[in-house]
Structure 1
């Protein structure tokens, strides 16, 4: 880098720092927190989503309503166990789950509970990242029955109370116990993707979003 470019880089960096100091804003990165403060805590919570989709081999299984409830609490460690999902449902009689192949009937198993774990916290945005493990569900699509188990990645935004669910290379769901009726489109060992955004309130049935803060 020549002297002129070095000077420009230095001036730009100094200007950025000056603006941050002048406005009182901090430039923060997510940290691997070890203390997790949940407010209120301990508490029950409920959550609902209108956009959950489980996609297997390009086939979307869509549920226009999904619900979850359980408990939230403070935690220590990284990851920190900050909540349990003790009930979860997808679709109902009025808003059934559907797919291009036909109706979808999901049945969940939350015994033992699905566990919510927190890993990183960004103080600048109020966003926690983590995962939910112990996910267990049974699905029926026409003559096809199969189980889905595993872990999903999550982010939680304090400002909106939104818990977003997704998958990545290390947080995956896996198909097992696929019946003969699944042949040709769903097989054991497949890794479906699950996406959705849940609005969370605490206590259950309330109107206020809980907050999760890691330090």
Structure 2
């Protein structure tokens, strides 16, 4: 499919940053017209839990663990009742399981005590929960509540640099830069599209900024690999 999408573009010139952004959005829309949420969940709370667990862990591994967790602790009250050690027993295969079990227990307690067991719908309230940083809050706001957000994970941070959309100095700068380049109504879908493309085509080791379809189309004259700054 990539060959078909990128075949025929033979114009050799330097694209401006906004032109690159427009091309990226168009190509990703062709490849992933309806990108699914990669983390299995049933509601806002289980999505929040899954996103918290996904830090420094693959979505595949999280999806292997959460069915058992959600069966016995699919609500804040049940998570609190399960207790820190009960949570840890289930999520132990996941990286950083000790700290994540503590955070899930504290998060559930706060939801029960202060939010009536309801996941809050603001960035400030979400980021005040244990283990919830700006990226996690952004994912929940975007995917659970449909609020415009642009969560930046490792894939997005890497591809934004390879595509000349960000200097990569920081995740904060990458997020701000992408929000300026893309219309707000595209953010929620686009961040998923970039993640899928980064996993399947423009991987950390499989592409160096000169090999995948989008990199080649954006920079047809590029010969030197792009050294990207990690988040």
Q: Give me the TM-score of the superposition, normalised by structure 1.
A: 0.24
Normalised to the residue count of structure 2, the TM-score between the two structures is 0.22
Indicate the structure (1 or 2) with the bigger Cα radius of gyration: 1
Which structure's residues are more often helix, by fraction? 2
